[in-house]
Structure 1
């Protein structure tokens, strides 16, 4: 018993006293959460003085890190509001100056600059106080086990209000935005920890296991001590002009991650689609982006209808069952027995920038188990929407490794890691 107490005390000290050294990389745990009607992926950082764990909804294309500072719940001796005219304001603020007469307190101080924060689940957008505080993350020491906490002082973030957290799980305190831009976590983490501006995302398919986000360069290790980056293929990352298509602002661009999809095949047969909808035009319409906020892949109506028709044709010998919203194509799970790559559904190929580069989607990522007996095609109709041709959702990238290399401006991707006898749940955060 005494030994157990000593171990707990040592663990507690490691949390409160992170190692002040430059890491080789960072790792963040990613937990799938289905406690609300919106499937979300939750990560955890440590922030403030003294350090406390802060749970955040991961938004791959989100513009910044913001946390709830409302109701006097934010306590930190190292909190520093960004005052108008400061270097932080001139570098990172997209808004004006404001006064706040309820404070002074975190999130409410006079003569401070603001920045836009967003809950992209509910599409709630507002401007809030820009600030700095201590940030700590677990280091990546090149093994399949998380290392000590390492810190960055004066890390820039935004304070939000509890009301903006609508739709998130009860214990979530904000959003971790990993999008492009100066306030996105990739840029800030690269500067704060002096690391290459690269990160890799590996989502688990289960609420009972933990996925991982690696920040910095490879190797990206999993148990049993394997570098899964060796399976990466690459395609260019595109920059989409204008965060709102057709609306022009100076130095404006989308914070999301876009790739070129030129074609779609099912069981090796090309689906007849209007591929121009998957290409970004000069006004910023169209294209294909990757999202952790969208739980399933969303397709523009004409693409979805052709895709749905082709998929049904490939399974014409199997009777369908009643559809379960939001899905339109469902089958008995007995008709699609499980294999190494999930339900035995037709494989789907996304043809990328070059005819030799394909992203293959197997049954594990194409089908969704909606009940014990029913599997549904996990793609949904996004309507006649010119703004986006296709959004590749979180279900389709679970147990695939995606590397966002913002230095070479390319996306590295694997297919389903089950083929390599591993998964995204094989990283050890528990010690």
Structure 2
């Protein structure tokens, strides 16, 4: 991200509605960085608000009542914890033809929320923020589709690593998603041919709650849990055939299944 380009690490939120990052204390320096004024197109796309979100003690870049903001979510701690100012900058992502790395491709004026460092302490070590893969207009899949044309569909596929010594990968856009079982390049397979599909129903009723106060403390609650239990049970059943060891829960990703 930025100018000059600097590598950033993010936690991934499958249903997250925003791409947000810590911009506090000189952690983010870029000559192409811009913040959006109230009434601008980026503020409108992000469905942001303008109600004077510069709280005492929050000295993030460009904080003033003319900048629009959204309530950002750290779902690892149960919901919203702060506001993020709608900002724009360049991003660069590596392309692929499905089987090997391609060149990096850039997007100018990518929209994200510029927050402070209160939430990143609960993320994975070294994470600078969270990438939302939800369905709204400033989630990453939607912005990629807008930048590269409607033929670049709002699809993504995630491959989780089976050991801590290997990396996972996220594909954006359509297949092929090519892998080499056992690293044998003569046996390349497009794993998308093995996918099973079901109709996606959009939840139009918000089932959790998020409370953001203007004091130094923030309190949040959320309820998504029955769907998560079903997912974890199904994952445990499928991964068992691969003879993968199951480790003890690690905070903050501790899930209790009844």
**TM-score by structure 1 length?**
0.48
Matched, 1:55 2:2: no
1:381: which partner in 2?
257
2:227: which partner in 1?
288
Q: Please say which structure displays the higher CA radius of gyration.
A: 1
1:14: which partner in 2?
none
What pairs with 1:184-263 in structure 2 (closer than 5 Å)?
Answer: 184-194=139-149, 195-223=152-180, 224=185, 225-244=188-207
1:69: which partner in 2?
23
Looking at structure 1, the residues matched to 75 and 134 of structure 2 have their Cα atoms a distance apart, in angstroms, of 12
Matched, 1:361 2:238: yes
Matched residues, number: 231
Q: Is the 8 A contact 1:107 1:128 kept in 2?
A: no
Q: Residue 88 of structure 1 aligns to a residue in which SS?
A: helix
Q: Residue 104 of structure 2 aligns to a residue in which SS?
A: strand
Q: Is the 8 A contact 1:102 1:108 kept in 2?
A: no
Matched, 1:127 2:127: no
Summarize the Cα distance change of 1:367–1:107 in structure 2 as closer, same or farther, 3 Å threshold.
farther
Looking at structure 2, the residues matched to 366 and 242 of structure 1 have their Cα atoms a distance apart, in angstroms, of 39
Structure 2: gaps (5+ residues): 211-222, 249-253
What pairs with 1:298-317 in structure 2 (closer than 5 Å)?
Answer: none
Say which of 112, 119, 133 aligns to 2:67.
112
Say which of 78, 81, 92 aligns to 2:46.
92
- Residue 169 of structure 1: how far off its partner (Å): 3.1
Looking at structure 1, the residues matched to 8 and 208 of structure 2 have their Cα atoms a distance apart, in angstroms, of 34
Deviation digits for residues 172-206 of structure 1 (CA, Å, limit 9, x no counterpart): 10001111222221111111232211111111122
1:137: which partner in 2?
93
Deviation digits for residues 277-325 of structure 1 (CA, Å, limit 9, x no counterpart): xxxxxxx99973599xxxx827xxxxxxxxxxxxxxxxxxxxxxxxxxx
Summarize the Cα distance change of 1:165–1:286 in structure 2 as closer, same or farther, 3 Å threshold.
closer
Looking at structure 1, the residues matched to 209 and 135 of structure 2 have their Cα atoms a distance apart, in angstroms, of 20
Looking at structure 1, the residues matched to 224 and 128 of structure 2 have their Cα atoms a distance apart, in angstroms, of 33
Q: Residue 51 of structure 1 aligns to a residue in which SS?
A: coil
Looking at structure 2, the residues matched to 137 and 239 of structure 1 have their Cα atoms a distance apart, in angstroms, of 28
Query: Relative contact order (C-alpha < 8 Å, sep 6+): which is higher?
Result: 2
Looking at structure 2, the residues matched to 288 and 55 of structure 1 have their Cα atoms a distance apart, in angstroms, of 27
**TM-score by structure 2 length?**
0.77
What pairs with 1:348-427 in structure 2 (closer than 5 Å)?
Answer: 361-364=238-241, 368-370=245-247, 380-381=256-257
1:307: which partner in 2?
none
Say which of 64, 73, 82 aligns to 2:36.
82
Say which of 94, 119, 134 aligns to 1:179.
134
1:338: which partner in 2?
none
Looking at structure 2, the residues matched to 107 and 165 of structure 1 have their Cα atoms a distance apart, in angstroms, of 20
Looking at structure 2, the residues matched to 117 and 74 of structure 1 have their Cα atoms a distance apart, in angstroms, of 18
- Residue 137 of structure 1: how far off its partner (Å): 0.3
Q: Is the 8 A contact 1:65 1:183 kept in 2?
A: yes
